[in-house]
Amino acid sequence: MRSLDDLLAEGVSGRRVLLRADLNVPLDKTTGTITDDGRIRASLPTLQALRDAGARVVVAAHLGRPKGTPDPQFSLAPVAARLGELLDASVPLAADVAGDDARAKTDALGDGDVLLLENVRFEAAETSKDDAERGELADRLAALADVYVDDAFGAVHRKHASVFDVAERLPHVAGRLVARELEVLTRLTTDPARPYVVVLGGSKVSDKLAVIEALLPKVDRLLVGGGMCFTFLAAQGHGVGKSLLEADRVDTCRRLLAEAGDRIVLPVDVVCAPEFSAEAETTIVPVAEIPDGQLGLDVGPRTVEIFGSTLGDARTVFWNGPMGVFELAPFQAGTRGVAQAVAAVAGLSVVGGGDSAAAVRALGLDEDAYGHISTGGGASLEYLEGRELPGLAVLADRAGE
């Protein structure tokens, strides 16, 4: 796989570079303002290196899940504005993805200039299962540039036009963010320093079963929190009240517990409330005593203590998924406590993107305390599962270069 440094060594001054970036940031539903610009900031090293080298940079990105047609609530306009602030430069936004306005604005670029294309998912072909449909969009995108750089690690597990098909049509390299993500994930999958502890949370156990199956033979401990823990607790025979439960996964969780023995560590207490609300009255109960009418919405303090102790001597840690509903103040303590324990690890600590990365920033924790904060939750998990990621596979293909 060729790197950005390989491309820069060849020279990009005056050349048009199509940069696929991951700028899929959360927006406030009322104001439309960006609530977490972490992914935009993560794109800056590659983008600035291209600018400094005199490239004419055309950035492609997606935001949210529009239905394959233009939708103002998913416009990249606030992203263009924030990108311009961070670069201290004008970043115009094309009115379309790869149409007349995109071509005109690309033609107007000077050396070191940056253009942001409108949300690539405004085109239904971007996510189409039909190769020909994606190919037609990829042809139009490729016509805007001389070379392709993929720095959108959060999208490399998707076989989308701007991720996969464009790379088949242009000379291509991996950006610095993609290269860093691969470096870290390789360390997690190739002889990690031990003890190796994985912390998994989030809402649904079904979203994590494949990675649990893949990781169990490799880890020394697997700590399970978040909404997904209640299906495991049910597998142990506990009642879980009104907590999130995937009843059709209980047998699978029971099998995993039997296979793993003491390597899977579950919560011993939880924070409960009668409803999903920041104003709800909370109680802390042992997992064997969750009331029938209550929801478990965070792991309890004793669990944080046990998880922290387990992480204390770890030399490699991968954390993906919050321990509770951290967006609501009464249910933040579990995620905060575990996040702080992960940050204190003496060896490699990796935050696996998605809600985990969002929690670090939302809770005001020091991002520099972690070895690496990934931008791609889903991509990270699929890599750890051992699945081939289309966006990486196509970058590794040197044919035609």
- Please give the mean pLDDT across all residues of the chain: 95
Strand partners, 3: 174
What lies within 8 Å, CB to CB, of 148 at 6+ separation is: 17, 18, 20, 142, 166, 167, 169, 170, 171, 172, 173
Known binder of ligand: residue 227? no
Known binder of ligand: residue 158? yes
Segment 12-16 shows an average pLDDT of 98
Residue 39 among the catalytic residues: yes
Known binder of ligand: residue 237? no
Identify which of 203, 295, 214 has the alpha carbon closest to the alpha carbon of residue 249.
203
Model pLDDT for residues 312-321, shown as the tens digit of each residue: 999 999 999 9
Could you name the CATH architecture of 192-384? Answer: 3-Layer(aba) Sandwich (3.40)
Per-domain residue ranges for the chain?
4-179, 192-384
Helix (H, G, I), strand (E, B) or coil at 358: helix
Known binder of ligand: residue 208? yes
β-strand 269-273 against 295-299: which pairing, if any? antiparallel
User: Prior bond to 217 cis, omega within 30?
Assistant: no
What's the pLDDT band for 182 if we cut at 50, 70, 90? very high
- The pLDDT assigned to 400 comes to 42
More confident position, 145 or 398: 145
Q: Give the span between the Cα atoms of 204 and 232, in whole angstroms.
A: 11
The one catalytic residue in 103, 204, 254, 302 is 204
CA angle 38, 44, 48 (to 5 degrees): 170
Same fold, 4-179 and 192-384: yes
In words, the CATH class of domain 4-179 is alpha beta
Residue 204 among the catalytic residues: yes
Model pLDDT for residues 210-267, shown as the tens digit of each residue: 999 999 999 999 999 999 999 999 999 999 999 999 999 999 999 999 999 999 999 9
The one catalytic residue in 15, 16, 20, 39 is 39
Q: Residue 244, class by beta-carbon neighbours within 10 Å (0-12 exposed, 13-18 middle, 19+ buried)?
A: middle
Known binder of ligand: residue 64? yes
Known binder of ligand: residue 201? no
Model pLDDT for residues 98-145, shown as the tens digit of each residue: 999 999 999 999 999 999 999 999 999 999 999 999 999 999 999 999
What is the reported pTM? 0.90
Model pLDDT for residues 137-170, shown as the tens digit of each residue: 999 999 999 999 999 999 999 999 999 999 999 9
β-strand 147-150 against 295-299: which pairing, if any? unpaired
Q: Give the span between the Cα atoms of 45 and 56, in whole angstroms.
A: 16
Segment 382-399 shows an average pLDDT of 88
Q: Where are the alpha helices (DSSP H) in 167-224?
A: 176-189, 209-215
Q: In the Cβ-directed half-sphere of 31, how many Cα atoms lie within 13 Å?
A: 6
Known binder of ligand: residue 327? yes
Do residues 15 and 144 make contact, with C-beta atoms less than 8 angstroms apart?
no
Known binder of ligand: residue 68? no
The one catalytic residue in 202, 352, 354, 377 is 354
Residue 350 backbone dihedrals phi, psi, to 5 degrees: -120, 125
What lies within 8 Å, CB to CB, of 79 at 6+ separation is: 23, 25, 34, 40, 61, 63, 116
The one catalytic residue in 135, 201, 334, 378 is 378
- The pLDDT assigned to 377 comes to 80
Identify which of 218, 198, 224, 213 has the alpha carbon closest to the alpha carbon of residue 349.
198
- The pLDDT assigned to 46 comes to 98
Residue 105 among the catalytic residues: no
Known binder of ligand: residue 218? no
More confident position, 283 or 355: 283
Q: Give the span between the Cα atoms of 235 and 219, in whole angstroms.
A: 21
Widest distance between CA atoms in the chain: 67
Do residues 84 and 42 make contact, with C-beta atoms less than 8 angstroms apart?
no
Provide the 8-state DSSP code for 165: I
Model pLDDT for residues 262-312, shown as the tens digit of each residue: 999 999 999 999 999 999 999 999 999 999 999 999 999 999 999 999 999
β-strand 269-273 against 283-286: which pairing, if any? antiparallel
Known binder of ligand: residue 297? no
Known binder of ligand: residue 39? yes
